[in-house]
């Protein structure tokens, strides 16, 4: 029995340190992919997870599969086929210079695979939850249809679905997409949504007038009213002072009410890419361990996203011991 993740697996290429892209002829390589990042985060916390995806049948695809296996992710439902692996390039930010992403994922094996090629009867066997994100349907007609089919198949089998909005305008705008229609259909199958008031505004076509926690609760109540299956909404609020210093709080809303953490200062940021995926992994971990307690989920999500900012690469690699140490506080060397 495993939590199952469906999405694209990629490689991230970035210059060393805080250099601009190709400032010197060197690039660092990391395994990426939003859903895989959440899977990795949960695997490192001791949960059984399985990835559903398609990669190129060459050394690049093989390297991605090998890295996920080393991290404890079951890759038995990742297929290798002829074609290319999706890439993206990251120029890390510094000071008042923001990070920048360049996508090179068009016509990847995953994006090109026909939606009918996924056998959801077999792929969802033994699944305790299906996790999807808004990145998968943003890639094109094939992946949008596949994500909807996956969510429908899970719903038909009584498998809960979690969905991370992960809105990527550059991807949606690259084809004749209708993000509102597609995302509305997907979230209609979800019991757990990772998204904030801006995501909900996009879906419902309305603005929320409150401020801070009040606005987030107003948006959550509107989403609960619009989506009958939805039971939990989780998100973070981030205030960016500069590329190296952010202030972050976490919130989890249920139909009965909401819980919001205090804001924490995250300074000396090493890498913020994947911090949202780490938050999702932390919230899922907290909900599982606490049997649905919003406060426990919010604190676990905040802890894992805060820790992820200290780690190069896309995925959280922290353990339960790391979460416990974070909760205890104290930043001196642990000996």
Helix (H, G, I), strand (E, B) or coil at 205: coil
Comparing CA positions, the residue from 86, 87, 98, 88 lying closest to residue 20 is 98
The residue to which tokens 């960016």 are assigned: 240
pLDDT per residue as tens digits for the range 74-111 = 999 999 999 999 999 999 999 899 999 999 999 999 99
Comparing CA positions, the residue from 233, 237, 260, 261 lying closest to residue 247 is 237
pTM summary value: 0.96
Query: Of the residues 178, 277, 314, 332, which is catalytic?
Result: 277
Q: Is 57 a catalytic residue?
A: no
pLDDT per residue as tens digits for the range 124-165 = 999 999 999 999 999 999 999 999 999 999 999 999 999 999
Helix (H, G, I), strand (E, B) or coil at 2: strand
- In DSSP terms, 146 is beta-bridged to none
315: number of Cβ within 10 Å: 28
């Amino acid at each position: 029995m495993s939590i199952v993740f469906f999405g694209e697996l990629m490689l991230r290429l970035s210059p060393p340190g805080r250099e601009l892209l190709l400032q010197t002829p060197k690039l660092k390589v990391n395994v990426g992919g939003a859903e895989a990042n959440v899977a990795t985060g949960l695997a490192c916390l001791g949960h059984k997870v399985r990835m559903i995806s398609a990669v190129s049948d060459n050394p690049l695809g093989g390297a991605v599969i090998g890295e996920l296996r080393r991290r404890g992710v079951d890759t038995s439902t990742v297929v290798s086929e002829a074609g290319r692996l999706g890439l993206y390039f990251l120029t890390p930010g510094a000071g008042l210079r923001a990070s920048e992403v360049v996508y090179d994922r068009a016509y990847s094996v995953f994006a090109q695979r026909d939606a009918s090629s996924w056998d959801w009867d077999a792929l969802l066997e033994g699944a305790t939850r299906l996790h999807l994100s808004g990145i998968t349907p943003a890639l094109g007609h094939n992946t949008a249809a596949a994500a909807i089919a996956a969510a429908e198949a899970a719903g038909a089998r009584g498998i809960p679905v979690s969905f991370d909005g992960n809105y990527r305008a550059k991807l949606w705008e690259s084809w004749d997409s209708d993000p509102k229609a597609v995302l509305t259909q997907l979230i209609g199958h979800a019991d757990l949504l990772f998204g904030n008031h801006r995501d909900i505004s996009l879906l419902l076509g309305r603005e929320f007038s409150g401020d801070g926690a009040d606005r987030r609760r107003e948006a959550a109540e509107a989403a609960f009213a619009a989506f009958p299956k939805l039971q939990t909404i989780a998100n973070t609020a981030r205030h960016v002072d500069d590329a190296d210093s952010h202030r972050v709080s976490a919130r989890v809303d249920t139909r009965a009410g909401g819980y919001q953490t205090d804001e924490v200062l995250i300074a000396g940021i090493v890498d913020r890419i994947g911090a949202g995926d780490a938050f999702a992994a932390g919230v899922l971990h907290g909900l599982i361990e606490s049997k649905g307690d919003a406060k426990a989920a919010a604190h676990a999500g905040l802890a894992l996203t805060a820790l992820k900012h200290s780690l190069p690469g896309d995925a959280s690699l922290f353990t339960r011991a790391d979460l416990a140490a974070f909760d205890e506080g104290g930043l001196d060397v642990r000996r």
